């Protein structure tokens, strides 16, 4: 496994790639079926067009955001810090990255307390750092690098909340939502950041960085590095979402799909591991206010907590998330 030079920075389960089990034939085929990259819709936050935004959310469930107002230096500093942080030894990361932050690997599914959900059937080739933004002030560290990272995240969190709120308000307008009701559908206080490292190596032919899923959020905002690997499922094809510097990728999440009565779609996506280079991404997820009941003509009323509990149950018992289908109303007749 020559690609992983900094072997001791990896969780032990990631260190023995040559001994990884042989891949099943059907999964290998899946590895080869990405159809290349296509230009995904672009939305300009400075000159926001409701038509363009609405179209992108309906046809794609995803778009590229430009003119978002985040200084390029902040994005690059965050990426640099993420690289340095994940390069620390596995043991140091476990010791340093403690509550309210949490360090996890092998699965992106976490329990409410921020621990990785164990017992999931599929291993995802990733390590992650979970950062609940509203609890960031409680994170104290003597380590100067971590303290600097905390300040960068705080600054980034402010931008993310601004962007999410601006986009959500525009979406609510596009969908003609009742302003009173939609107010509680997006709560900045629920926002959290996930910083990921996907290892590189020969397992790229054998395993996924992150298996196919939809996001449970209202909106997700992704800043990916130049390695690439994020793919979306559209028109029965897997398409690569090309990395373009200083742009953000916005996903419509499951909550937004329900809020929009299925007019917007929560797009299925996955992450491919790169053979030669590690990949880093920094993702933000935001949710409805605690207790806010989502009313929709397509689903029975539910809160995000109901949804999350169901997802965790399914992930444990089935190995995957069933998602919105669990809440869909069965049409009469
Ligand atoms: O790493 C990425 O680009 C995407 C991660 C993702 O899809 C997720 O955390 O839900
Ligand atoms: Fe995702």
Q: Is residue 1 part of a domain?
A: no
Does 227 sit in the ligand 1 pocket, CB within 6 Å? no
| Domain range enclosing 111 | 31-327
Does 216 sit in the ligand 1 pocket, CB within 6 Å? no
Q: How far apart are CA 251 and CA 238, in angstroms?
A: 16
Q: Is residue 73 part of a domain?
A: yes
Does 280 sit in the ligand 1 pocket, CB within 6 Å? no
Flag the least confident range among 85-94, 144-153, 195-204, 274-283. 195-204
Q: Is 12 helix (H, G, I), strand (E, B) or coil?
A: helix
Q: Is residue 2 part of a domain?
A: no
CA proximity to 283, closest of 227, 224, 208:
224
Give the model's pLDDT for residue 107: 83
Q: Is residue 18 part of a domain?
A: no
Neighbour tally for 138: CB within 10 Å: 10
CA–centroid distance, 279 to ligand 1, in Å, is 11
Q: Is residue 13 part of a domain?
A: no
Domain with 83 in it: what CATH number? 2.60.120.330
Q: What φ, ψ does residue 191 adopt, rounded to 5°?
A: -65, 135
Number of structural domains in the chain:
1
**Which of 108, 199, 243, 247 for mutating ligand 1's site (highest number of atoms within 8 Å of CB)?**
108
No. of helices (H) and no. of strands (E), the chain: 8, 15
Contact 160, 193 (CB under 8 A): yes
Q: Is the pLDDT of residue 17 over 80?
A: no
Flag the least confident range among 155-159, 252-256, 316-320. 316-320
Does 108 sit in the ligand 1 pocket, CB within 6 Å? yes
- Please give the radius of gyration of the chain, using alpha carbons only, rounded to the nearest integer: 19
Rounded percentage of the chain residues whose pLDDT exceeds 90: 73
Q: Is residue 76 part of a domain?
A: yes
Q: Is residue 20 part of a domain?
A: no
Contact 191, 161 (CB under 8 A): yes
Say which ligand is closest to the CA of 267: 2
User: Which ligand 1 atom minimizes the distance to the CA of 126?
Assistant: 1
Give the model's pLDDT for residue 219: 98
Does 271 sit in the ligand 1 pocket, CB within 6 Å? yes
Contact 227, 244 (CB under 8 A): no
Say which ligand is closest to the CA of 110: 1
Q: Is residue 4 part of a domain?
A: no
> What are the distances in angstroms from CA 323 to CA 107, 180, 239?
17, 26, 22
Q: How far apart are CA 229 and CA 276, in angstroms?
A: 12
Q: Is the pLDDT of residue 121 over 60?
A: no
Q: Is 230 helix (H, G, I), strand (E, B) or coil?
A: strand
The residue whose C-alpha atom lies closest to atom 10 belonging to ligand 1 is 215
Q: What predicted TM-score, i.e. pTM, was given to this entire model?
A: 0.93
Does 196 sit in the ligand 1 pocket, CB within 6 Å? yes
């Amino acid at each position: 496994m020559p690609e992983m030079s900094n072997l001791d920075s990896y969780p032990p389960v990631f260190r023995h790639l040559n001994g990884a089990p042989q891949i099943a034939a059907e999964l290998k085929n899946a590895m080869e079926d990405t159809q290349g990259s296509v230009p995904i819709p672009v939305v300009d936050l400075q000159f926001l067009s409701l038509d363009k935004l609405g179209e992108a959310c309906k046809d794609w469930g995803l778009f590229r955001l430009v003119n978002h107002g985040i200084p390029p230096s902040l994005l690059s500093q965050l990426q640099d810090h993420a690289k340095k942080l994940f390069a620390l030894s596995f043991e140091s990361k476990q010791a340093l990255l403690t509550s309210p932050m949490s360090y996890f690997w092998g699965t992106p599914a976490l329990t409410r307390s921020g621990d990785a959900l164990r017992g999931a059937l599929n291993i995802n080739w990733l390590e992650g750092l979970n950062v609940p933004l509203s609890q960031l002030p409680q994170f104290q560290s003597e380590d100067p690098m971590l303290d600097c990272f905390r300040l960068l995240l705080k600054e980034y969190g402010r931008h993310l909340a601004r962007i999410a709120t601006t986009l959500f308000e525009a979406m609510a307008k596009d969908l003609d939502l009742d302003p009173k009701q939609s107010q509680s559908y997006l709560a900045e206080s629920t926002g959290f950041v996930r910083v990921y490292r996907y290892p590189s190596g020969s397992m790229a032919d054998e395993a996924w960085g992150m298996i196919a899923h939809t996001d449970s959020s209202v909106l997700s905002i992704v800043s990916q590095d130049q390695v690439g690997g994020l793919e979306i499922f559209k028109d029965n094809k897997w398409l690569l979402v090309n990395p373009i510097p200083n742009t953000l990728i916005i996903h419509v999440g499951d909550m937004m799909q329900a809020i929009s009565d299925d007019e917007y779609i929560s797009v299925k996506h996955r992450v491919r591991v790169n053979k030669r280079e590690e990949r880093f991404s920094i993702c933000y997820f935001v949710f409805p206010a605690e207790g806010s009941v989502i009313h929709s003509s397509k689903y029975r009323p539910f809160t995000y907590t109901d949804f999350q509990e169901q997802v965790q149950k399914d992930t444990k018992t089935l190995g995957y998330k069933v998602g919105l289908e669990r809440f869909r109303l069965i049409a009469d007749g």
